[in-house]
Amino acid sequence: MPKEELPTFTIRYNGIFDFDRLYALVVDWAKTHNYLWLEKKHVHKVIRGSVEQELSWQATREATEYIRLVVDIGIRMWDLQEVEIDVAGKKRPLSNARIEIKISGKVDYDWQGFAEKNPKKIMKWLGKIYPPKTEVTDEYFFQLYSQLINLHSLTKRYFDMQSKKNPFG
């Protein structure tokens, strides 16, 4: 079935961070935007004394019975070390690593396969499944695009990679 891919946003960071807070931030974002959350892959490797982790998360939302919005988040961490930092008299377990986060999305048309199940009825609702490039498809494309930008911005803000002032004032 046809899919419309959106550009991939990449964040790279090297330093100390709280992975549990990052995880909570992304899950909270998914719940806030009514997405169903799924952790697809979690790989933990130790290579020559260096710890590496790869994670793959997916958030999906049914926009209509024919259109589904999909957000894929890939995380790769290497040179991972668990460290304890003293914060206000309490020791907190944090991670020190190099991390790369890739956020991508797609608009998935006819994700339930109605066109394959009912080929005789396809002409009746073909316009609903494969509408011409109009406001209907653009609406879901731009909605997902703005949500990806929002998640990208939240993640950058978490790593303190975003400027404190904007260029417009």
- 2-13 pLDDT, tens digit per residue, is 778 899 999 999
Q: What is the pLDDT of residues 62-78, one digit of tens each?
A: 988 878 999 999 999 99
pLDDT at residue 14 in the model: 94
d(CA 35, CA 20): 20
pLDDT, average across residues 108-120: 71
Residue with tokens 């460290």: 83
Q: What are phi and psi of 121, to 5 degrees?
A: -90, 0
What was the pLDDT predicted at 103?
A: 97
Domain boundaries, the chain: 3-158
